[in-house]
Structure 1
């Protein structure tokens, strides 16, 4: 009969396998979103006649202006690329935990910190990119209402960094436990 430790390890490994599969699926969606952002950027930068049904741009049609497409394309692509990076790191982390059944390793703490730093970039860089694109005259005039920072993502990144340091401490405890055995 398996003891509580073995049951917990089995549950953890199963959940980590499920999470790694989920993050691969989400990564594929994110990669598609990145390409949609590139298409939006290209449509705005080079004219978007290829996106309309009649082959030409009609200003009376509702939709995005070319400048809006450039701004949205740049920020959407950047956000999607950063999110994809974060999801791939998470996939690697969960896959490693599922295989090794050792969550408290230095590599896992580094991966958590990596996800956190990518989330910080995700919270700040799209607003900076929109400001740069508009300053260069390609996108919409950039008028920040709240500096364009995604505070939810930034707060989540701070939580992840905190958990990464908790994982670091867990690594120390795991190493001490392994040395005692």
Structure 2
């Protein structure tokens, strides 16, 4: 019985730490979305030019003067930015789902609840969508590249959800016996 309490305490403390880390990760996603949206609005209104020039020297550059963006036309730049913003929003949602799992576990102590199974399945779906958003843009169309690591990772998360679902059934059976 003492070992069970020790394990439960470890689960609770690790879950609390992970909940906090995931909250910060989600905040960084929101900051990234904000910066990207501001950069996108800037490009829509002013184009891809330098922001501030003082006495002939460039003081502040456009967010899209980076070498990776220089060869893109306007349409490609917009599509790439929107895909990046969508990806960060999905990642923030993924972090929120995971944060909720660990926050609840840190309070309740039991990971085997159906709400966690549903959240893990959502994480799997979000992970799959994010891995499919790893796209390449061309002048005429968008081609989606398949990220095998992301697809396999999403399948692993889904399998873990099924393991948790089995654990929920065992937990319910155990509670009924007691």
Q: Could you say what secondary structure the match of 1:54 adopts?
A: strand
Q: Following the alignment from structure 1 to structure 2, what is the Cα–Cα distance between the partners of residues 62 and 111?
A: 38
The Cα of 1:50 is off from its aligned counterpart by 7.2
Evaluate the alpha carbon distance shift between residue 23 and residue 143 of structure 1 in structure 2; reply closer, same or farther with a 3 A threshold: closer
Give the match for residue 14 of structure 1. 13
Q: Which consecutive residues of structure 1, in runs of 5 or more, have no partner in the other structure? A: 135-139
Q: Following the alignment from structure 1 to structure 2, what is the Cα–Cα distance between the partners of residues 94 and 173?
A: 20
The Cα of 1:148 is off from its aligned counterpart by 2.2
Evaluate the alpha carbon distance shift between residue 23 and residue 67 of structure 1 in structure 2; reply closer, same or farther with a 3 A threshold: same
Match of 1:81 among 80, 84, 89: 89
Contact 2:134/2:147 (<8 A) preserved = no
Q: Deviations over 1:107-138 (max 9, x none)?
A: 111110011111112122463xx76xx7xxxx
Higher share of residues assigned strand: 2
Match of 1:69 among 70, 77, 86: 77
Evaluate the alpha carbon distance shift between residue 36 and residue 16 of structure 1 in structure 2; reply closer, same or farther with a 3 A threshold: same
Q: Following the alignment from structure 1 to structure 2, what is the Cα–Cα distance between the partners of residues 37 and 150?
A: 24
TM (norm. structure 1) is 0.80
Give the match for residue 122 of structure 1. 130
Q: Which consecutive residues of structure 2, in runs of 5 or more, have no partner in the other structure? A: none
The Cα of 1:160 is off from its aligned counterpart by 0.3
The Cα of 1:62 is off from its aligned counterpart by 6.3
Contact 1:40/1:70 (<8 A) preserved = no
Give the match for residue 115 of structure 2. 107
Query: Would you say how many aligned residue pairs link Structure 1 and Structure 2?
Result: 167
* Structure 1 moving runs of 4+ over 6 Å: 55-58
Evaluate the alpha carbon distance shift between residue 22 and residue 105 of structure 1 in structure 2; reply closer, same or farther with a 3 A threshold: same
